Structure 1
Amino acid sequence: MVNEFPQVVTIAGSDSDGSAGMQADLHAFFTHQVYGASILTAAVAGNSYGIHAAINLPTDFIDQEFATLAADYHIRAAKTGMLADSTLIRTVVKNLKKYDFGALVVDPVIYTKHGDMLLEEAAFATLRNELVPLATVITPNFFEAQKLAEMQIVTEADTIAAAHKLQDLGAKNVVIKGDHPVGKTDDVRDFILLENQQSFWLADEYVATQRVNGTGDTLSAVITAELAKHTPIAEAIRRAHDYVHLAIEQEIAVAHKYGPINHWAK
């Protein structure tokens, strides 16, 4: 039957070294046995040392990407990644409202894992007010959760309160990835709050490595893949969490500085 095979789409930027962004999403889709399509919003020239150039695609081209996929494919779930400015965010929001691409996983790329802000305040406000309310699942890191919830997170109770604030913004299910300050060597803990108000923590032993590029992209991409296969939301999040831990733990020797995680991990 036409379009019976599960299909997903990543709406994100191209990372030329393949470690993050759209490429990491497509790696994760492939290893989780869904067909991955892509809607390119930007492109960066980067390697393991950093990003050296970037360019946004024209919004009319992005509109055409959405229309072209919607006319031929049956997209069961979608995810967003880095959307650099308000214009790009509004273009994506407009199209997500126009076309039914199933469940939406929002990876709110606002801060790096080290706490450096990637979005200007105007773009952040657009993301918070217009994209987050569309999210079936939102997957902020520690710094992004603080920014979105407009509060400091110090204790586990703070994390729980922040997750509820993200639901108040409209996100149905929330995954807050735990902080890991320099020098900390105990477990990394993520908090999950589901739409039905069930909640739980997921913990894994800290892995001392610089090969962590693409962890956030991959987590959200695996959740997207699992939702397209009709995996229940709690199990989809657990599978994504476990897979990312293995991908960090089972290093591959690629590039020099901040290398990619291992999408072949099992």
Structure 2
Amino acid sequence: MKSIPRALTIAGSDSGGGAGIQADLKTFAAFGVYGMSAITALTAQNTVGVRGIVEISADFVALQIRAVVSDIGVDAVKTGMLAGASIVSAVAREVRQLGIEKLVVDPVMVAKSGDALLKPDAASALVHEILPLALVVTPNLHEASALVGFEVRDLEGMKEAARRIKSFGPRWVVVKGGHLESSPLDLLYDGVEFHEFCGPRFDTPHTHGTGCSFASAIAAGLALGLDVPDAVTRAKAFIIGAIREGLPLGKGQGPVHHFHELYRLAGWSFPSPTSKPHRNANG
């Protein structure tokens, strides 16, 4: 009997459904991967911004992780918003004790609205406790800048940031260039070679959840047995389609469309967003 691919997301909940745990589980489902979750924080959030955050206790986060892994098992894990240093430490401890090898770390620090999602004391813990355990880490330009201590603005800066982040211990680094002023480009680095992934920009504001979904798509690919370059390639194709078909919901930045491929195959549709190639790419 063929085993069912399984992935666990350890992240915050987005009450608006566009990012965080909700985006991760939708992405896993879109890839045909069974999704599980360990919630680190509850956010009161919509397409406009974050109104409040309630952090879950580190012990309860650890209990969620152990509960699902001890029973159901897991093929890949993705971390997102870890909120505070105690949660970072608890997650790192569980990853080590459970022997999790396929760990994708999305170093969530700031929401697209500009709201802080990671406490200052947690950033150091993230670098020293989580990144050394990561198979893949996926910072955007802002997160890469925060991690390395200088502003990353172009391809050469992305390469230098990737080298420095690699020195923190992850086996692969993906620096996402969706915020580049030039053509959007993501850079994959294994400590030896750089691999560039290019994509179009889309003239759409509906990009909420892009970073979460990209990282969880990589985790889904790993759960399916793909190697890292192939998982990143498939995740890039997925997120391009999800942005292109972004959903015009709410008064701010609507979410990307996680089930765009299913809707296309089934002939279903939502109201058509304005998604001309021009302006946005994964974050």
Fold agreement, TM-score > 0.5: yes
Range that drifts further, 217-226 or 84-93: 84-93
Q: Deviations over 1:213-250 (max 9, x none)?
A: 10000000010000011112111101111111111111
Q: Give the equivalent residue in structure 2 for 1:251.
A: 246
Q: Distance in 1 between matches of 2:112 and 2:248?
A: 21
Q: Give the equivalent residue in structure 2 for 1:7.
A: 6
- Which of 174, 184, 200 is 1:188 aligned to? 184
AA in 1 matched with 2:5: P
Q: Give the equivalent residue in structure 1 for 2:58.
A: 59
Q: 1:34 Cα shift? A: 0.6
Range that drifts further, 152-161 or 21-30: 152-161
Is 1:31 equivalent to 2:30 in the alignment?
yes
Q: 1:167 Cα shift? A: 0.9
Is 1:213 equivalent to 2:208 in the alignment?
yes
AA in 2 matched with 1:124: A
Q: Deviations over 1:100-134 (max 9, x none)?
A: 33400000012345766543332111111111111
AA in 1 matched with 2:245: Q
Counterparts of 1:148-187 in structure 2, within 5 Å, are 148-180=147-179, 184=181, 186-187=182-183
Q: Deviations over 1:39-72 (max 9, x none)?
A: 1111111111211122111222222212211221
- Which of 224, 231, 237 is 1:242 aligned to? 237
Q: 1:24 Cα shift? A: 0.0
Q: Distance in 2 between matches of 1:128 and 1:224?
A: 20
Range that drifts further, 108-117 or 57-66: 108-117
Q: TM-score, normalised on structure 1?
A: 0.92
Q: Is contact 1:194–1:234 with CA below 8 Å preserved after alignment?
A: no
Q: Distance in 1 between matches of 2:48 and 2:100?
A: 35
Q: Give the equivalent residue in structure 2 for 1:144.
A: 143
Q: 1:232 to 1:103 in 2, by over 3 A?
A: same
AA in 2 matched with 1:22: I
Range that drifts further, 81-90 or 186-195: 186-195
Q: Distance in 1 between matches of 2:113 and 2:152?
A: 15
Q: Distance in 2 between matches of 1:155 and 1:212?
A: 21
Q: Distance in 2 between matches of 1:169 and 1:136?
A: 12
Is 1:198 equivalent to 2:197 in the alignment?
no
Q: Distance in 1 between matches of 2:48 and 2:154?
A: 33
Q: 1:148 to 1:115 in 2, by over 3 A?
A: farther
AA in 2 matched with 1:253: P
Question: What SS class does the counterpart of residue 177 from structure 2 fall into?
Answer: coil
Question: What SS class does the counterpart of residue 169 from structure 2 fall into?
Answer: coil
The percentage of aligned residue pairs carrying the same residue is 33
Q: 1:18 Cα shift? A: 0.6
Q: Give the equivalent residue in structure 2 for 1:226.
A: 221
Q: Distance in 2 between matches of 1:230 and 1:119?
A: 31
AA in 1 matched with 2:226: T
Q: Give the equivalent residue in structure 1 for 2:122.
A: 123
Q: Deviations over 1:163-211 (max 9, x none)?
A: 1111110011011011526xx4x5211111125x232111112112111
Q: Deviations over 1:71-122 (max 9, x none)?
A: 2112010010001111111111111111133400000012345766543332
Question: What SS class does the counterpart of residue 160 from structure 1 fall into?
Answer: helix
- Which of 255, 258, 261 is 2:256 aligned to? 261
Q: Is contact 1:148–1:166 with CA below 8 Å preserved after alignment?
A: yes
AA in 2 matched with 1:180: H
AA in 2 matched with 1:9: L
Q: Distance in 1 between matches of 2:227 and 2:96?
A: 24
Q: Distance in 1 between matches of 2:186 and 2:101?
A: 25
Q: 1:171 to 1:152 in 2, by over 3 A?
A: same
